[in-house]
Amino acid sequence: MALAAEHLARHGLVAFPTETVYGLGADALSADAVAKVFQAKGRPTDHPLIVHVATAAAAQALAAHWPMAAQCLASAFWPGPLTLILRKAESVPLAVTGGQASVGLRVPSHPVAQALLKAFSVLGSGALAAPSANRFGQVSATRAADVMAQLSQHLAADDLVLDGGPCTDGIESTVVDCTAEPPRILRPGVLGRTAIAAALSAQGIGLAAPVGLSAAADAVQGKAADRNAPDTVSSPVPRVSGSLASHYAPRTPLWVLPAQALRQQLDQYLRQNPGARVLVWMFSDWADAPVGVHYEKAPEDATVYGRALYAQLNDWDSAGFGLLCLERPAETPEWEAVQDRLRRAAF
């Protein structure tokens, strides 16, 4: 941890585990250090980064305004998989926020992340701008090996990857916009809408109604099908990480379809592509899967599925399949975050 904190203080990069996914960290208060994150990821500089700190007090110091909604959610869920969008303090460089007046702040609960942030608080600012530790738009990393596979050729020789084992949650944090009244969820995550609404309601604060995922996807596709267009392209809401129409995407083509449609379209695909190797991840059984189809049973629990999703996609992406086929999960609240990631991955 001392070595990693010293490297961050010298404006180097350190990849580290959180409970959600691995992050690629740099001193959030140094525009020069942040520039290295964008370069290593191949990330557009107008796409904002989430800033990680060790405590809610440290987060509050980076916000120009700390509304009651932020206090309520921070008290209820930090440390944990929740990012709050707030008006940024003057100390936060525009390089971190993509030129916006708002910043995403998070207090992770992973012990390695906490140890790193506390060590960096002694030797540096204690604030790490840390997007997911993968190439921009590709599948997020939930294991140190995934970080190395995607970023080893794009990091400096002295940059570090801290191996804290597999991430326990496996899906990115829930992002809540606290600059709005009422607050609104901009990105679903492990922390569900029901829990957030209940915490706010206990303090007499409402939560904005959700925008349907399919409606958001249709809106973006109607804008000339720009794969780099954010869902909020026509809305005055802050831009946030993971809001592009295409994101979390494997290199291998990916289909996400209901079971019957998946089987029908796959039969046609195999007739047109004899000898193709296809991975199928389904909730339902498929005992008579065609030749060339590698069938695996998908977890029926949304939490277990989300924890496994990125690791599976990364493994399948390097296994030489010509097509990945996933059965679409149910359109129910507990699957909201997974549905969001699958929609973007298959866009």
Segment among 58-72, 108-122, 191-205, 236-250 with least mean pLDDT: 236-250
pLDDT at 218: 37
Go through the domains of the chain in sequence order and give each one's CATH number: 2-221 (3.90.870.10), 254-345 (3.40.50)
- Confidence (pTM): 0.91
pLDDT at 236: 60
d(CA 19, CA 170): 7
d(CA 187, CA 292): 36
215 pLDDT above the threshold of 50: no
- Kindly report the average pLDDT of the chain as a whole number: 91
For 37, other C-beta atoms within 10 Å of its C-beta total: 24
